[in-house]
């Protein structure tokens, strides 16, 4: 085979293809609001999506509702009496109504030996410098020396609207440390210690929040994408799935971010086991249920540096997704016993006495904290995205996601619904990103850069399809910004096809699509 050809095959993984539009008779109320409309007991906070950007203010007032705030893409948050929900949803000016449901952080207590957060091989010459990373979480400690000094370039509080960075819960500080802590101890150094943190607080002092605050933070990141070169958003949060991602406002906000050139990384959730301790499939949380989101499950490295014995953490949520039945997660990353920065005055620090690790680098050094969860796995992947964006700035979110899935290392004995394409492989992903960006096909150089082994999945999960092959090409329509991951075509109707794809400079080669 000509090594410049990319030969891929598509295998259907699920009966419902995510490129299919919602049915015309699909209910405009999500499942939670339908239940409230059937049994009214007060008023509900809702997110209303307008049909064709229709004005909704007067419509909400006539329904006895109170407007709360505007969101992106013609949406708004309002409080509406339960007995008016069905009537409001029946108006043709309304595209859909969704509950402004709670979101929570995805960290759990876990007694396990601490492990380093890096997983980054030496000698890559990358630290994320110049790349903006938006964390949508509970905030960040302004006092922790490993992340405060020079790492936080911008702060916005969507909860209490304070101007000064803080983290009353502590989860956001831990997540930020995994991404970008500049610690002298390599075991506590972030994956991308040179990255710029744009910290957007959407969770309160209990680690909970509202979907509308998360959406507002996503839209804020989009609006400030160029100002801070934001290339990736980390969402270590989970919300329930009550509707298709076609109508879910949080999933649609994530799609807006991807189309703006921002990779959206989300935790899969910690619902991989039922109360009886059995594997729980169909447990992926929102927004990780959306195809265009890079959804991360958690692995357990068993406290060894050798990744060959890593397994899927029992708590890690499993696919396929509820309602749409799309395969997830996309990949897994270490998420058990992760040690990273902590704020000793935060709630999560007080709640995890066995996870506290007090600093000994110098007198007065602030402590770190050992936590587990897909909340810890997601920022490892976010840090990897920052390194890839530094190494190959021209790559789109779809191309970066494809490279991470293609280079992931499958775990023997684990099914795809638990591990996706496999374990995060930072060295391999960066090596392939550089090769794809330069449009070269030097196999020997790729092998050397990848660490001498390419035990890769060699596949991507394109919505409800598995696409396999030997190479990832740069010039593919699938990577365009106007193509939603998993769809059959672009927003303008141009088809996404899989087949023999040629490097664009090759004489006589047809256009790669």
Residue numbers annotated as active site: 137, 171, 375
Edge-to-edge strands, sheet with 94-99: 66-70, 75-81, 43-50, 94-99
Which helix or strand (DSSP H or E) is residue 222 part of?
helix 211-223
Per-residue exposure over 24-46, b if at least 16 CB sit within 10 Å of its own CB, e if not: eeebbbbbbbbebbeeeeebbbb
Both tokens assigned to 104: 């929570």
CA gap 215, 98 in Å, rounded: 13
Chain CA centroid to CA 89, Å:
30
CA gap 94, 486 in Å, rounded: 26
Both tokens assigned to 206: 């209990």
Q: With beta carbons less than 8 A apart as the criterion, state whether 37 and 85 touch.
A: yes
% helix, strand, coil for the chain, step of 5: 25, 20, 50
Both tokens assigned to 480: 């365009």
Give the end-to-end CA distance of the chain in Å, rounded to a whole number: 20
CA nearest neighbour of 419 among 279, 275, 252: 279
CA gap 183, 191 in Å, rounded: 11
CA gap 129, 8 in Å, rounded: 34
């Amino acid at each position: 085979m000509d090594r410049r050809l990319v030969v891929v095959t598509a295998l259907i993984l699920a009966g419902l293809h995510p490129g299919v539009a919602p049915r015309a008779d699909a209910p405009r109320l999500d499942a939670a609001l339908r239940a409230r409309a059937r049994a009214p007991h007060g008023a509900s906070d809702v997110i209303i999506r307008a049909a064709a950007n229709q004005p909704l203010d007067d419509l909400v007032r006539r329904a006895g509702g109170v407007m709360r705030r505007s969101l992106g893409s013609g949406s708004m948050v309002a409080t509406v009496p339960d007995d008016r929900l069905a009537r409001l949803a029946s108006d043709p000016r309304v595209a859909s109504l969704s509950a402004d449901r709670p979101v929570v952080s995805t960290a759990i207590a876990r007694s396990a030996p601490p492990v380093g957060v890096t997983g980054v091989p030496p000698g890559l010459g990358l630290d994320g410098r110049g790349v903006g990373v938006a964390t949508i979480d509970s905030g960040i400690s302004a006092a922790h020396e490993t992340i405060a000094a020079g790492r936080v370039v911008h702060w916005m509080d969507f909860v209490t609207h304070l101007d000064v960075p803080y983290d009353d819960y502590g989860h956001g500080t831990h997540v930020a440390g995994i991404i970008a802590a500049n610690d002298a101890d390599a075991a506590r150094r972030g994956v991308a210690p040179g990255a710029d943190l744009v910290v957007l607080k959407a969770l309160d002092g209990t680690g909970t929040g509202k979907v509308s605050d998360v959406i507002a933070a996503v839209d804020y990141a989009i609006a400030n994408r160029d100002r801070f070169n934001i290339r990736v958003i980390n969402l270590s949060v989970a919300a329930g799935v009550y509707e298709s991602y076609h109508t879910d406002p949080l999933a649609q906000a994530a799609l807006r971010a991807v189309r703006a050139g921002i990779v959206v990384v989300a935790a899969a959730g910690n619902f991989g086991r039922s109360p009886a301790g059995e594997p729980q499939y169909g447990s992926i949380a929102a927004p990780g249920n959306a195809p265009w989101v890079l959804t991360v499950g958690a692995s357990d490295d068993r406290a060894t540096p050798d990744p060959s014995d890593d397994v899927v953490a029992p708590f890690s949520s499993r696919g396929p997704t509820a309602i749409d039945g799309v395969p997830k997660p996309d990949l897994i990353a270490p998420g058990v016993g992760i040690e990273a920065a902590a704020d000793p005055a935060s709630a999560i620090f007080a709640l995890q006495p066995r996870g506290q690790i007090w600093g000994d680098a110098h007198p007065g050094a602030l402590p770190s904290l050992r936590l587990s969860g897909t909340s810890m796995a997601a920022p490892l992947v976010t840090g990897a995205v920052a390194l890839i964006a530094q190494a190959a700035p021209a790559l789109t979110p779809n191309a970066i996601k494809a490279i991470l899935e293609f280079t992931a290392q499958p775990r023997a004995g684990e099914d795809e619904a638990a591990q996706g394409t496999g374990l995060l492989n930072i060295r391999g992903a960066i090596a392939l990103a550089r090769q794809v960006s330069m449009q070269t096909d030097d196999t020997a150089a790729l092998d050397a850069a990848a660490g001498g082994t390419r035990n890769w999945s060699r596949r991507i999960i394109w919505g409800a399809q598995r696409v396999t092959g030997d190479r990832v090409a740069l010039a593919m329509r699938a990577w365009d910004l106007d193509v939603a991951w998993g769809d059959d075509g672009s927003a303008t109707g141009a088809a996404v096809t899989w087949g023999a794809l040629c490097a664009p400079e090759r004489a006589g080669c047809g256009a790669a699509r």
